[in-house]
Structure 1
């Protein structure tokens, strides 16, 4: 019979050996696998189109067929039950907005930046514009200073300024009086996002009374943005409970408006805006036992699908926007300054660090999409000039091949590349200018 159980020294040795084995086994489980791969046929076709067009620089690409598919899904879900407003910050290009307008039949755009507001008023004079955030009153004044008096766009009929509280309402009242300019005012409601806005129906009623008392001001409706809804965990009731609470407060504010306006209250003439890309599919004509308090939904990002919108509520939408940038250096090893001797150990631990690719530009709000297995290097750091990406030996990129990334958002990232390249499945068939931030 073995004496191992009664021998303390051997018992310690066995325990130590077992612990080392467990450590090695655990390390093997933690060790990253090889995620490298090649471009799919889709990205090979996109790469060929960019090469044919000579676009060997960082380029924002929109796939026209995928964009059209997403527009079709949007139209299908809204199904004529609500008016649709394009979120301009998420689609910051006149040809892009015009493409969405043509397919949805809307003339409504939400605007978030004074230069964009002047541009849209000039180049899209039939549009109905709603500010998506409260604008400093000096920027509102600047809009009128740069808006030609003979323009076809008439701000007193086609433009709604957003007001989040009584102080800004007073500022806009003073501006309207100083300019003798009629102004339509939309009230921002805090429906649960807690990013500002009116928080009580009584305050809403008081604001509408102020608007009624001034011949230059008119109440045009409400905006209740509820981006928090889709992120609510089940422990607090999840999205349905959050949306019910948001729409409950919205209903209270609509009722307050009706109490103040009485016979003059006509919801068909008001912009009762709600929704967003991650929530628009949750809206129904009848919500929580009664008619929806809103009559308009706003969406933009869902049409191009940056990664921040990879959420269950948008499972039927497809990514339609990519950042393409050439590889300018392809190296068969990865070296970190000061840690050159550890290069073999690092790649032995993580095979996805075996090779290095430096790209033309980088550090965008994005993540690598193709080829598979590319990753940034936290030891080397990020760069807007030449970004280091690592991959395994199975990533066979070479100089002048393209790396494709998916932006995490569209509203700022789209403005960083110049004209958008439009991919028709085989060629870059169009280029779409983007908005100029300082124009």
Structure 2
């Protein structure tokens, strides 16, 4: 390499390094999180906590109401909002008693807490789990499982299992049949599969009653547009759903005179059902607290309403990594977002940093559920005992990792709401 090539190569490397060098992303709390941090410190909640902002939740309830087709009912998804008080708050605000439940322990608790609720199971659970529900059902409860509970059935084999349970208990089970409208996660795939199930139900009127269909369609907004547009995927899912309804009415025209549950949607697609849907009720839950997995174009009218808050335990200058202590002051020279190190209470949640801006994990040090390491630039003016805020990626799992939910009003904790019992 001659001298001219050497300088050209050096200049190119310098330019590349300048483009690759991380920018300083740090900034202090905004006004909202400044107030929230100060109020949490005053309220003495110094454990990692899940927060639900009721002011933002109210706005999302309104946004959900505005997203609904006026001819459909709303069913709230309990797994996405796993707190009895939270569910009660949302049911009252949104004017519905309809819930979708996915977990037998949740089912038992909800039927005790809300005996007037109308429940559709959101997945087909093992028949023994269904038997456990009846065994644990409070005898003094006003909940009538024969009229207020629909079991989700995805196959003839499972229906036969539930029929045996109904005979054993000498009770009537309402049966909602899961259909595959394109997600391919289970349920009936062809209309020809429907007839044997309807026949079995018709032959056992004392123990089985057909109550409707459930067709879940989140794939509609997740398909790569190069393969199929969301609009085309939605129309296709609706055509599939309608074909099952048509087959039902052909099988027995008396079903046209009955009030049946044709459940559809889910948070990602609920807005697509507004102008036209074959469903008569739609389900939603996650959009009301909007974790990061639901930052979707179809949910642009919804705002984040849930956060994880955890206190800073330790603060250090630079980034000191075991065995490479010599790099403590060198790492921040390359990445200004490593100028400070914080260790927080807990960590490794399925969540993303929200405030202050510019926080980042340290891949060299590794993650910890005990004391997570967090790096930031000097523009992040955090002190020990200040709070770091995250947004959960989802609600149904992450909410269950904490104790009581902290309900906020104007950035103040006004209540502590227990979560649903997991066992």
TM-score bracket for this pair, using the shorter chain length: over 0.9
**Alignment partner of 2:232: what SS?**
helix
- Residue by residue over 1:344-367, the C-alpha shift from the partner in whole angstroms, topping out at 9 and shown as x without a partner, is 332221111121111111111101
Number of the residue aligned with 2:141? 151
Farther-moved stretch of structure 1 (59-68 vs 334-343)? 334-343
Choose from 25, 30, 33 the match for 2:15: 25
Distance 2:411 2:311 in 1: 19
Distance 1:79 1:228 in 2: 20
Number of the residue aligned with 2:406? 421
Note the C-alpha offset of 1:79.
Answer: 4.9
Q: Is the CA contact (8 Å cut-off) linking 1:46 and 1:423 kept in structure 2?
A: no
Say whether residues 1:89 and 2:89 are aligned partners: no
Distance 1:285 1:24 in 2: 56
Q: Is the CA contact (8 Å cut-off) linking 2:67 and 2:274 kept in structure 1?
A: no
Map 1:47-62 to 2 at 5 A. Answer: 47-62=37-52
**Alignment partner of 1:144: what SS?**
helix
Gaps of 5+ in 2: none
Say whether residues 1:293 and 2:293 are aligned partners: no
Distance 1:417 1:263 in 2: 49
Map 1:240-279 to 2 at 5 A. Answer: 240-266=231-257, 269-279=259-269
Number of the residue aligned with 1:127? 117
Note the C-alpha offset of 1:394.
Answer: 1.2
Distance 1:325 1:82 in 2: 40
Distance 1:248 1:17 in 2: 66
- Residue by residue over 1:101-144, the C-alpha shift from the partner in whole angstroms, topping out at 9 and shown as x without a partner, is 11111110000110000001111000000111111110000000
Choose from 329, 332, 337 the match for 1:344: 329
Distance 1:434 1:195 in 2: 28
Distance 2:326 2:50 in 1: 38
Q: Is the CA contact (8 Å cut-off) linking 1:81 and 1:285 kept in structure 2?
A: no
Number of the residue aligned with 2:300? 315
**Alignment partner of 1:235: what SS?**
coil
Q: Is the CA contact (8 Å cut-off) linking 2:121 and 2:150 kept in structure 1?
A: yes
Note the C-alpha offset of 1:219.
Answer: 0.8
Distance 2:255 2:213 in 1: 16
Farther-moved stretch of structure 1 (339-348 vs 295-304)? 339-348
Distance 2:269 2:47 in 1: 35
Say whether residues 1:304 and 2:289 are aligned partners: yes
Q: Is the CA contact (8 Å cut-off) linking 2:69 and 2:275 kept in structure 1?
A: no
Note the C-alpha offset of 1:211.
Answer: 1.2
Note the C-alpha offset of 1:332.
Answer: 0.9
Say whether residues 1:218 and 2:203 are aligned partners: no
RMSD of aligned Cα (Å): 1.2
Q: Is the CA contact (8 Å cut-off) linking 1:331 and 1:356 kept in structure 2?
A: yes
Number of the residue aligned with 1:325? 310
Count of aligned residue pairs for this structure pair? 422
**Alignment partner of 1:279: what SS?**
helix
**Alignment partner of 1:24: what SS?**
helix
Note the C-alpha offset of 1:165.
Answer: 1.2
- Residue by residue over 1:59-78, the C-alpha shift from the partner in whole angstroms, topping out at 9 and shown as x without a partner, is 11111110000000111121
Number of the residue aligned with 1:199? 189
Note the C-alpha offset of 1:15.
Answer: 2.6
Gaps of 5+ in 1: 1-8, 287-291
